[in-house]
């Protein structure tokens, strides 16, 4: 799948931002300010990508985790404003329904998805913890040592 040019453009700015903040690290607001300031200085760099950026924003909103509001409760538990579950007709996709229009079966499918995603997140956390243990050991217990000094190899990415 071809990565959109707008994403490549933003990824380049992310790398510049992360290099600029160094070991202190950055946060979303700082990165967003960085991109906005670059846009103010170089609007022609971004304007040809407006449609792609609009598509990306649409995708982001669609994929956002719905907010949990006290509008709908069952057994004292608040439901999210919308429920999502895998779409069997579109592999890798999912369907979304406002809680006001959801069925009990859709709630069940959403609960199954939530459990699976939770299990995946726990496994990723366990894997990252194991890697961090190895890195800290290689660093001689020094948590301030740069990762670049303890990695097996550095992959060059363009």
For 120-151, the pLDDT digits (tens) are 999 999 999 999 999 999 999 999 999 989 98
Average pLDDT, the chain: 87
Percent of the chain at pLDDT exceeding 90: 39
Tell me the C-alpha distance between 95 and 3, whole Å: 24
pLDDT for position 139: 95
Bigger pLDDT: 62 vs 16: 16
Residue 1 pLDDT more than 50? Answer: no
Tokens describing residue 46: 């971004």
Residue 50 pLDDT more than 60? Answer: yes
State the angle between helix axes of 5-21 and 50-63 in degrees (0 to 180), rounded to the nearest 10: 80
Tell me the C-alpha distance between 7 and 14, whole Å: 10
Residue 69 pLDDT more than 80? Answer: no
Compute how many other C-beta atoms are within 10 angstroms of the C-beta atom of residue 16: 14
Alpha-helical (H) ranges within the chain are 5-21, 28-41, 43-46, 50-63, 104-138
Residue 53 pLDDT more than 90? Answer: no
Contact between 83 and 103 (Cβ < 8 Å): no
- Whole-prediction pTM: 0.59
- CA separation, residue 112 to residues 7, 70, 120 (Å): 32, 22, 13
Domain ranges within the chain, ordered by starting residue: 1-64
pLDDT for position 104: 92
pLDDT for position 5: 81
In this prediction, residues 109-120 reach a mean pLDDT of 92
In this prediction, residues 22-32 reach a mean pLDDT of 88
Q: Decide: helix, strand or coil at residue 49.
A: helix
pLDDT for position 3: 56
């Amino acid at each position: 799948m071809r990565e959109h040019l707008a994403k490549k453009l933003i990824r380049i700015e992310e790398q510049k931002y992360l290099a600029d903040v160094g070991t202190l690290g950055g946060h979303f607001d700082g990165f967003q300010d960085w991109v906005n300031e670059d846009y103010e200085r170089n609007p022609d760099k971004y304007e040809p990508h407006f449609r792609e950026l609009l598509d990306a924003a649409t995708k982001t909103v669609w994929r956002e985790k719905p907010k949990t509001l006290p509008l709908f409760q069952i057994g004292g538990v608040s439901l999210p404003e919308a429920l999502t579950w895998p779409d069997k007709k579109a592999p890798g996709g999912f369907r979304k329904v406002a809680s006001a229009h959801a069925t009990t079966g859709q709630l069940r499918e959403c609960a199954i998805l939530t459990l699976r995603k939770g299990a995946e997140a726990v496994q990723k956390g366990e894997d990252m913890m194991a890697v961090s243990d190895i890195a800290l050991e290689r660093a001689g217990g020094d948590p301030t040592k740069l990762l670049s000094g303890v990695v097996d190899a550095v992959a060059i990415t363009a």
